[in-house]
Amino acid sequence: MNPIVLKEKISEFLKEDLGFGDLSVAFLPGGTPLSGSFIAKQSGIICGQEIPQATYDLLGHATYKPRIPEGAPVKAGDIIGTVSGTAQTLLSGERVTLNLIQRMSGIATQTTHFVKLLDDATIRITDTRKTAPGLRLFDKYAVSVGGGFNHRFDLTGGIMLKDNHIALAGGVTQALAAVKRHVGPLTPVEVEVETEEELRQAVAGGANVIMFDNQNPETIKQWRQLVPKTIKVEASGEITAESISTFKGCGADFISIGNLTNDVTPLDIGFLVAGAVKS
The tens digit of pLDDT for each residue in 3-16 reads 899 999 999 999 99
Quote the pLDDT of residue 24: 84
Length of the chain: 279
Give the separation between CA 276 and CA 257, rounded to whole angstroms.
Answer: 41
The crossing angle, in degrees rounded to 10, of helices 51-59 and 94-118 is 170
Quote the pLDDT of residue 177: 96
Quote the pLDDT of residue 28: 83
Q: Answer positive or negative: Cα dihedral of 204, 206, 212, 218.
A: positive
> What is the residue-averaged pLDDT of the chain?
95
C-alpha distances (whole Å) from 272 to each of 36, 80, 90, 174, 279 are 5, 12, 10, 60, 10
Which residues are catalytic, by number? 95, 130, 162, 192, 213
Tens digits of per-residue pLDDT, 224-261? 999 999 999 999 998 999 999 999 999 999 999 999 99
169: pLDDT strictly greater than 80: yes
Give the separation between CA 47 and CA 111, rounded to whole angstroms.
Answer: 12
